[in-house]
Structure 1
C-alpha cells in the first residue's frame, strides 16, 4: 500500500507540500491540467529548483491576478508584480465549486474533506456553522490551488494513506484577518487537537492552517517508526529563509505492502461476572459504565445459575492498563461479589478511521485490511443513525448509498 510519510521539522504549508509532490515525481503538466478543471481563472503555478541552508528541493509559487502560466523552471526563477486579490469565500462556496468541476470523485472528496475539517475548526472557534465560515487567507485562490492540488497529487501517486513522524508548529505571533494571534492561531490549534506536535524551533508560524488541514483532512497518523520499501523522497522548499532552520518538508513514498498485511499481536484481559439479581436497565447501565471505564468491548450472555435462576453473564474486554479501572466499575455498578479475569492472546487486523465526505454528509468509516491485502469497510453506527435522522431515510438505504460512494471513490 503506497503511503506518504511527512517529516516536517520546519512545519508544513500548502505550497511546500506541492513542491514535495513534484519532487516525488508528479508531472507538473498533469497537475496543472487537472487544476484547470476548477471554475477559477486568473492564476498561474510555477515550480522552481531551490535550496534552504544547502538542502535542495522544489519550491512552488501560485500567483493570482494574471493568466499566463509557468509550469516549471530552474534556478533562474523570476517574479511578477501583479497584486493578489484575496476573496473571502465561504466553505459552502468552495465545496460547491469543487463539486461542479470535472475532477475525479475521489479527488473531490479528499479536497472537500480538507476544507471541511478547517471549516469545522474555524466554526468552533467563532461559534458559527461550518457552511457559513468565511475563509480569509485560505479562501484565496492560491490556498484553494494548494488544497485541491494536494488531493490531485495524492491520487496521481496512488496514495491510500498518509502519516507523519514530526510536525513543528513554530512560535511567536502571526497577523491574521482577525488581528495578531499567537502561534498556532486558534483555528489551527483546534484543528490539530490530539496530534503529536512540537513548538519553538522558530519564532514564526511553521505550520499554516492549510498545512494542518491537509494532514487532518487525510487522516494522517503519527508514525515515528514505519516499515516498508522506500520508493522515493521528495523535498518541498518553503518561501521563508531562516538560517537556523532549513524551511523544507521531506516526504517519503513508502510501499507498505510487505508489512500492512501482517497481523498485529497483543494481550487483552477478559473480566466477567454472573448477575442474577439485577434488572435489565441496571445491567445496561453497568455495560455503559464499563465502556466509560476503558473497556474495549462489553457483551452479555444469558445463563442459568443455581436453584434454576436465570441471569446474565457480563463480559468486558480491556487492555492491561485499564484492568483495575474496569474491575472497579464492575464492583461499583453491579451486585456481584466477585469478578473473574483471564488473559487472552489475540491477532488484530490493521484498521483506520476515515472521515468520508459523502453526498449525504460527513461520516466516519472503519476500514480494515485483510491478510490478502483486500479492504473491508464498516460505517460507524452513531454517524449512520445521525444521518438517517437528518435525511429522514431508512438506515439501510443510507448505508447502501455511502458504501457505494466509498467504493466508487477508491477506483
Structure 2
C-alpha cells in the first residue's frame, strides 16, 4: 500500500496518528502495540472533531505522568523493539545533540520528553503496519513562523530540532503564517518511516483520512490529509464466478452478459463445453470486484436457473486507463484510453455509423484520430 500525506497545515505526532486511525487502523490493535512496550499510566482515544468544516479524527493521549522532560535514553529503552519509533526518537536525540554540542547519549529532552511521545511514535509505527503501508510519500510541509517558549527560553519557529530534521530529510517546505505547525515528533516520524517528498504518486485511491490538530484556527483547516491506495497498474484482488449450464438458450445467455456488465462486472463471457452424456453446454464466467460479487451472483442464478456457482479469488493486473468522449459529425462516441492506444466504444460507433451511412471502420478511425489529438478535458480515471 502507498500512503500520501498532504501537510498543508503541518504535521505532528498526534495529527499523523489521528489520520491513520481515520483511514481505518484499528484503535484496539494500536493500543495493544503500545501496551507491549510495558508503558503504564496512559490512554489513547480517537475523538471525532471538525476542523474548518472537515470531519477528522483527533488522537488524544492521556498520561498520568505529566513530566515533559526526560532523558532520550529512557524513551529509547521504551521503544527499542519498534523500529520506526526507535528511529524517530534517535533522530530527535541526534539533532538535539548537534544543536547543543553534546554527545547523543547525554541528551535530555524537554518539551518532547513526555511519555505521550512513546504513545505517538509506537502508535504511528503500529498503524502503518496495520494498514499495510509499504511506501510513504509526503507533499510540501507548511511551516509556521514566529517564536515559541521552551525550557531554553524563547526560540524561533520552526524549532531548531524541527528545522534540523527537515534538513536531514531534504523536505520541501512552504510558509504557513505564524505559530508552530510542524513539531519535532512529526518531522522525526517522517524521517523514520522513510518518507519520500514530492507530488501525489500514481495510485488507485482506496481511502482518505484526516487527522486533527489540537487547535481550530479560523483561517485554516487544521488537519493532516492522508490518502491510501495501491500503485497504478498493481494487482487487484477480484473474484471469478462460474457456473455450467446446459438448458439455457443463446438469447438468454447474451442478455445475461449484458446485465452483468451493467451491474458492474469487470468482464463477463461464455465458453462452450461438453457436459455429461455428451450434452453441449456453456460455462458462464464473471470477473468482478468483491464488493459487487453478491449482485452478480444473484443475476446469474436468477437468469440461468442454476442451483449454484463457483467462486475463485484471483489477482488481476490492471494498467491505468481513462475514458473520454469525442464527437464525429455531431455524434458522441466514448473512448477508452490505455497505455498502448485508444479504443472507441462499439455501441456508440455502430449508432453513429448507421446514422451517418458510413462504414463502421471509418467511424472507428475518425473517433480514434480525434481522441488521440484532443486535450484531455473530460478525463475520468478508474
TM-score (norm. length: structure 2): 0.59
Match of 1:195 in 2: 171
8 Å contact 2:202–2:231 — kept in the other structure?
A: yes
Match of 2:105 in 1: 131
Separation in 2 of the partners of 1:213 and 1:206? 14
Change (3 A) 1:259 1:168: farther
Match of 1:245 among 220, 235, 238: 220
- TM-fit CA distance, 1:95: 1.8
Q: Secondary structure at the match of 2:87?
A: helix
Distance in 2 (alpha carbons) for counterparts of 1:180 and 1:38? 34
Partner Cα separation in structure 1 for residue 40 and residue 90 of structure 2:
23
Structure 1 or 2: more strand by fraction: 2
Maintained 8 Å contact 2:37/2:78: yes
Q: Which runs of 4+ in 1 moved over 6 A?
A: none
**Corresponding residue for 2:46?**
47
Cα deviations by residue, 1:317-357 (Å, 9 ceiling, x for unpaired): xxxxxxxxxxxxxxxxxxxxxxxxxxxxxxxxxxxxxxxxx
Distance in 2, matches of 1:181 and 1:134, equals 17
Distance 1:51 1:174 in 2: 26
Distance in 2 (CA, whole Å) between partners of 1:257 and 1:152 is 25
* 1:176 alignment partner, one of 129, 150, 167: 150
Q: Is the 8 A contact 2:68 2:112 kept in 1?
A: no
2:105 match: secondary structure? helix
Counting only pairs closer than 5 Å after superposition, residues 256-335 of structure 1 correspond to structure 2 as: 256=231, 258=233
Paired residues of 2:4 and 2:200 also in contact (CA < 8 A): no
Between the aligned partners of 2:219 and 2:128, the Cα distance in structure 1 is 31
Cα contact 1:6–1:166 (8 A) shared by 2: no
**Residue 185, structure 1, aligned to residue 159, structure 2:** yes
Structure index of larger Rg: 2
Q: What residue number does 1:223 align with?
A: 198
State how far apart, in whole Å, the 1-side matches of 2:78 and 2:221 are. 36
Whole-angstrom CA distance in 2 between matches of 1:96 and 1:14: 19
| Matched-pair contact (CA < 8 Å) for 1:168–1:206 | yes
The SS at the match of 1:232 is strand
Q: Is this contact kept in 1: 2:84–2:121, CA < 8 A?
A: no
* 1:138-177 → structure 2 map (5 Å cutoff): 138-177=112-151
Q: Cα distance 1:19–1:225, how it changes in 2: closer, same or farther (>3 A)? A: closer
Does structure 1 retain, via aligned residues, the 8 Å contact 2:58–2:213? yes
Structure 2 residue corresponding to 1:205, chosen from 147, 168, 180: 180
Aligned match of 2:71 in 66, 90, 98? 90
CA distance in 2 between partners of 1:129 and 1:256 (Å): 42
**Equivalent in the alignment of 2:7:** 8
Map 1:367-386 to 2 at 5 A: none
Alpha-carbon separation, structure 1, partners of 2:68 and 2:157: 24
Alpha-carbon distance, 1:245 to partner: 0.9
- Taking only aligned residues, the RMSD between alpha carbons, in angstroms, comes to 1.6
CA distance in 1, matches of 2:67, 2:141: 28
Structure 1 residues 228 and 41: CA distance shift in structure 2, 3 A: same
Given that 2:10 and 2:143 are in contact with CA atoms closer than 8 Å, whether structure 1 keeps it comes out as yes
Quote how far apart the aligned CAs of 1:131 are. Answer: 2.2
Report the count of equivalent residues.
233
Deviations along 1:176-203, whole A, 9 cap, x unmatched?
Answer: 221111111111111111210112x231
Query: Please, which runs of 5 or more residues in structure 1 have no aligned partner?
Result: 66-83, 100-104, 261-411
Contact residue 68 and residue 110 of structure 2 kept, 8 A: yes
Give the equivalent residue in structure 1 for 2:17: 18
Aligned residue for 1:180, secondary structure, equals strand
Deviation at 1:110, TM superposition (A): 1.1
